[in-house]
A and B are shown apart, each in its own frame.
Chain A
Amino acid sequence: MSAAGMSGRFLAFSSEVTAFSVFDLQGTGQAESYLSTVLRVVGEETLEELLGAYARTAHRPRTLEADIFSSEKLGPIARNIIKLWYAGVWYALPPEWTESFGALENDGTFTASSGAYPEGLLWRTIGANPPGAKAPGYGSWAHAPIIPPIPGDEPARPSAAVLADTQAEAHADVPRPRGPQAQQAKETAQ
């Protein structure tokens, strides 16, 4: 199975464990780089094992934790993939892992690519810019951070567009999403 053939399943798994949509993951421009990073460190066979285990959880709710995150072998790798998306860094697998499954030649702590740091999901999650990169504009810090909604949790949290709307309300009638969900979000925002 080539990297290209794995890419859809890698993204689906990544979306599940990061709580960012596949669109947002692709939007970082790092999907290919992260998949090749994981393949380079753990190898195709182990990644297949992880994605296979994930595929089997699809129709069995609550098995993700039992089958993957509690697995001595797959758990640390799954957690590393989350950290890779959030921080752009592959962290060396823990000593317990290497004791049980052997040291991997390409393992170690490193930044996945030059684009990984500014594209880390953690910055969007907290509504901040990566310091030193992706300039947010002078004075932008005077406004509340714009936090994207958590998938499946949209009604309770104002969307970025609505928040921007609220921020700019004093000056401008910026676009207003329609529909009951947007209305509810707007009320929350106020």
Chain B
Amino acid sequence: MTDAKITTIEQLHAYLYAALQLEHATIPPYLTALYSLRNESNSPAWRILRVVVVEEMLHLSLAANVMNAVGGTPDLTAPDFVPDYPACLPDGEDDFAVDIQSFSAAAVDTFLMIERPAQAPRAELRLVPRGASARHLLAASPTAPGMQYYSIGEFYAEISRGLRYLSDEYAREGRELFTGDRRRQVTPEFFYSGGGEPIVVTGLESALRAVDFIAGQGEGLGGGIYDAGNELAHYYRFEQLKAGRYYQKGDQPGRPTGPALWVDWGNVYPVLKNAGLDDYPTGSELRRVAHEFNETYAGFLRFLTKAFTGQPELLLEAVPQMFRLRDDIRRLIRNPIPGRDGVHAAPTFEMPGVAGSAAGSTA
């Protein structure tokens, strides 16, 4: 499948755009599950989801750093940037749906699939033909239509391979691959979170480190349960919720032996799965507020795009905006949908102006 390999800078940019899309696409499902928890009495689940979602935001910023380092332009405002949910992710030779839904055992199963370590059993299976599904697949090959990666890990492995390949090619021709404006990098002073600092990407070594960090924080490193920063990888964090037990140092995958952990599966707002504005009654306040949320979110993605294209200091101002988004999401989720007998609303993440969604109309 040589035609799927990254051999040009344009292809590398396309892959990195797909990486930005992919890292962002996990955020709406994680946030919705997090804020569907009725209150913080479900604190283990609350903390695990919160850590993971904040780290996905770090991954998004790292993907932007790599994109900027190789002279690309992170654009979170493109019409296809936010997927139409359920989004679709590769699962070996098949794919699976990622729903926006309440916190539940089914949701955690999906999260495990998102973060699952999955190396293709044979090299020729790293890239496989897409099934009959017509849905837009995240981590599909941007350069070989009809092909998908065996897993997210394999998708990132191709980005790393492409970075090394292009760096060598450029060096041979006496050119520099990493020509991006250094001032576009998201540096630690503009990024406020736990779970790791942004890696400033200035060359091949730091670019590979950033890509490894993204992939490793999801699925662990080299078959272990910890990532490069000695933090429990996302897959194993979620596994604790199913196991009812924390991992501790020295544990083997699948066999946590730490303290017991309690999940109150029923203490959750039951939100409508993959709700769209059309699910909310015409003329209702709920519909108006859900529509306004989508506009606010689209504006937030425009704001992040500015931060990632030369004004990284804006990320400091993005933090209060994110807290307001949190409050908006919680208000939506606490509202029952009129006429739906106790089923609650959720943000729909339909971006205004995108064809095929009801996002443009409040009526």
Contacts and interface: CB of A to CB of B under 8 A. Distances in A.
Contacts of A27: 330-332, 334-335
Interface string A10-30: 000000000001111011110
A177 B302 contact: no
Q: Which residue of A137, A139, A140 has the most chain B CB atoms within 10 A of its CB atom?
A: A137
Using C-beta atoms within 8 Å of the partner chain, give the interface range for chain B: 20 to 34
Interface string B298-342: 111011001000010010110111111001001110111000000
A114 B300 CA distance: 31
Contacts of B352: 175
Given A136-B320, A137-B322, A172 B302 contact: yes
B192 interface: yes
A138 B319 contact: yes
Interface string A150-182: 000000000001001100100111110100000
A58 interface: no
Q: How many of chain A's residues touch chain B, expressed as a range?
A: 20 to 34
A115 B42 CA distance: 13
B335 A171 contact: no
B317 A139 contact: yes
B7 interface: no
Interface stretch (B100-108, B174-182, B243-251, B288-296): B288-296
A135 interface: yes
Instruction: Tell me which of A24, A138, A175 has the highest count of chain B C-beta atoms within 10 A of its own C-beta.
Output: A175
Interface of B: 38-39, 192, 285-286, 289, 292, 295-296, 298-300, 302-303, 306, 311, 314, 316-317, 319-324, 327, 330-332, 334-336, 352
6 contacts: A26-B336, A134-B323, A161-B292, A164-B296, A171-B306, A177-B292
